[in-house]
Copies of this chain bind each other. A is one copy, B any other.
């Protein structure tokens, strides 16, 4: 094991092969986990690998608490509760977790395999395969399942494709490379019912439609339509997965969208931008962070009205910096 742990930085394919070799050689139980607040890629990549390991005859366990909207992917008998300790001789596979502190369901101890596409991942664990060029950790699991030589079934392919779909915004984001689309084609060819899957991934409870209606009544345009804002009116219930900024950002001609939501810790801002305007710059100026096109911040100790004023000031500065104003 030490040779593997301390070996040179192998190339991606070699690393995937090394992980496949380690998993195939392992005699004890294998626990597959992901990160806290799991999204489609966390659930999809871990569930897909778990099922592939089971198909190989491995003593594999899947520890995860999927959000309600992803539970349709899982059968009741596939759940294993969280563990405080791992048994002797266990191997832990951690998927899509950008840091050890974000790992959910099991302690990061013993022989740890770390597979992730977040560039900030500190490469923890014995065997770490971190490739930020991949759109989703599920894309890496696709390669790992191939390397394991497991025969693809719809059972395995469906969660893997789910991870790719959710992390690419259903093939909409800039990470949707030709490789992603070829992989998706291959997985659909293995029998994933794509239309049913994408249908199911979009189901929303009745409360969502009420909340969205309430949110839309707050939509406002500023700076001649360059900024669109909306907020969640007090008392309206939503799920954490409800992506309202992802809707208002499509206001025609807008270069930046900000959604405000009151939370216990303050006013939470979700910011999206395009056309050279930086959501990140606005977020950073308000004490938050993120990526250029998608960022966020939390304003503590202020009410909604003051939050709006701060947002408008920060956005105005960014629109001036980028020459829109």
Contact = CB atoms under 8 A, between A and B. Distances in A.
Contacts of A173: 195
Contacts of A210: 216, 219
Interface stretch (A4-12, A91-99, A175-183): A175-183
B186 A184 contact: no
A151 interface: no
Given A171-B170, A176-B195, A209-B219, A250 B184 contact: no
Interface in A52-111: none
A217 interface: yes
Contacts of A202: 250
Interface in A219-252: 219, 221, 225, 248, 250-252
Q: What's the number of copies of this chain in the assembled complex?
A: 2
Interface string A287-325: 000000000000000000000000000000000000000
B225 A206 contact: yes
Interface in A136-189: 169-174, 176-182, 184-186, 188-189
Contacts of A248: 209
Contacts of A274: 199
Contacts of A176: 188, 194-195
B170 A203 contact: no
Contacts of A203: 250-253
A173 B197 CA distance: 10
Given A202-B250, A216-B209, A178 B172 contact: no
A179 B185 CA distance: 7
Given A172-B170, A189-B178, A217 B213 contact: yes
A252 B188 contact: no
Nearest to A217: B213
Contacts of A13: none
A172 B188 contact: no
Nearest to A211: B216
Contact of A172 (B186, B198, B219): B198
A36 interface: no
Nearest to A212: B216
A204 interface: yes
B188 A206 contact: no
Contact of A178 (B177, B188, B204, B219): B188
A204 B170 contact: no
A181 B184 contact: yes
11 contacts: A174-B195, A178-B185, A181-B185, A181-B188, A182-B185, A203-B252, A204-B252, A205-B251, A206-B219, A210-B216, A212-B216
Interface of A: 169-174, 176-182, 184-186, 188-189, 194-195, 198-199, 202-206, 209-210, 212-213, 216-217, 219, 221, 225, 248, 250-253, 274
